Structure 1
C-alpha cells in the first residue's frame, strides 16, 4: 500500500495571497520509518534532549516564529534544506504531487475542491500505472487534521461513488484520514514540501522548490505530479 501524506500552504480567504497549494508525497508503507528517523535527527539539532517536541513546519521555521525565534536564520534554513534532501534521497517510488491554484482564476469555486480533485486523481493514476506494470497497490491519503477536513471528506466520498471530472477513484482503500501533525514526521514533511512549492509560486523563491522539483511524479519525460491553474 502507498500512503500519500498531504498538507496545504496558503489560505483560501487571505486576499493578500494569490495562490493556494495542496501538495504531498506518496511513500510505500514500509519506507516511512526511514524518513521519520532522518527527520528526528534533524529535529534533535534544536532540542537534543527532547527532539519529539520539535515540530518541523516550513513557515514558522523560515520566519522564526514562536520557539524558532531563538535559533539563527542560517540554522533554520539549513534544516529546511536538509529536510527536503531527505525526501530527495528517499526511494525513487516516493513521488511528489502538487496542485497549485491561483484563487482568482477558479473563483467562485472553492480552491480546496479544485486542488483536492487534482491531487487525488493524479495519485490514483500513479497507482494505475503501477498496476499496469504488475505492481498492484492500493492507496490512502493522510492529511494534517487542521486541513479542510469536512470539505475533503465530502469530496472524497463523492469521487468514489459519483466520480470526478475524469472518472471514478478506483484505487483508494479508504476515504482520507486526518492526523495530528505533532504525532507524525511525515505530515510535517508534507507541510514543508507544500510550503516550498507555495514560496516558489507566491514569492518567486525557488531556493527550496529546486531541491525537490525532480521528485514530481513523472514518466517518460512527462510530469504528471504537478497541476498548475493560473
Structure 2
C-alpha cells in the first residue's frame, strides 16, 4: 500500500494571501519507518532528551515563533532544509504531489475542493500507472487534522461513488484519515512540503522547494505531480 501524507498551507479566508496549497508525498508502507527515524534525528537537535516533544512545523520554524524563538534563524532553517532532504534522498518510489491554487482564479469555487480533486486524482493515476506495470497497490491519503476535514471527507466519498471531473477514484482503500501532527513525523514532513511549496509560489522563495521539486511524480519526462492554477 502507498500512503499519501498531505497538509495545507495558506489560509482560505485571508485576503492578503493569494494562494492555497494542498501538498504532500506518497511513500510505500515500509518506507515510513525509515523516514520517521531520520526526522527524529533532526528533532533531537532541539531537545536531545525528548525529541518526541519537538514538532517539525514549517511556519513557526521559519519565523521563530513559540518554542522556536530561542533557536538561531540559520539553525532553524537548516533543520527545515535537512528534513526536506530526507524526502529528496529517499526511495525513488516516494513521490511528491502538490495542488497550488490562486484563490481568485477559481472563484466562486471552493479552493479546497479544487485542490483536493487534483491531489486525489493525481495520486490515483500514479497507482494506475503502477498497476499497468504489474505492481498493483492500494492507496490511502492521510491528512493533518484540519478545519477542512468535513469538506475533504465529503469530497472523497463522492469521488469514490459519484465520481469527479475525470472519472471515479478506484484505487483508494478508504476515505482519508486525519491525524494529529504531533503524533506523526510523516504528517510533519507533509507540513514542511506544503509550506515549502507555498513559499515558492506565494513568496517567490524557492530555497526549500528546490530541494524537493525533483521528486514531483513524473513519467516519461511528463510531470504529473503538480497542479498549478494561476
Same fold (TM over 0.5): yes
Separation in 1 of the partners of 2:8 and 2:149? 12
Separation in 1 of the partners of 2:200 and 2:5? 20
Partner of 1:35: 35
Partner of 1:82: 82
Deviating above 3 A after TM superposition, structure 1's stretches of 4 or more consecutive aligned residues are: none
Unpaired runs of at least 5, structure 1: none
| TM-score normalised per structure 1 | 0.99
Contact 1:139 1:171 in 2 (8 A): yes
Aligned residue runs from structure 1 range 125-204, under 5 A: 125-204=125-204
| TM-score normalised per structure 2 | 0.99
Separation in 2 of the partners of 1:223 and 1:11? 26
SS at match of 1:200: helix
Q: Deviations over 1:134-179 (max 9, x none)?
A: 0000000000012510000000000000000000000001000000
Separation in 1 of the partners of 2:180 and 2:68? 20
Q: Deviations over 1:119-138 (max 9, x none)?
A: 00000000000000000000
Unpaired runs of at least 5, structure 2: none
Separation in 2 of the partners of 1:73 and 1:122? 36
Between the two proteins, the alignment pairs up a number of residues equal to: 230
Superposed CA RMSD:
0.5
Contact 1:7 1:147 in 2 (8 A): no
Partner of 2:9: 9
SS at match of 1:123: helix
Separation in 1 of the partners of 2:152 and 2:161? 14
For the pair 1:104 / 2:139, whether they are aligned, the reply is no
Q: 1:224, CA displacement in angstroms?
A: 0.1
Contact 1:143 1:176 in 2 (8 A): yes
Separation in 2 of the partners of 1:146 and 1:172? 21
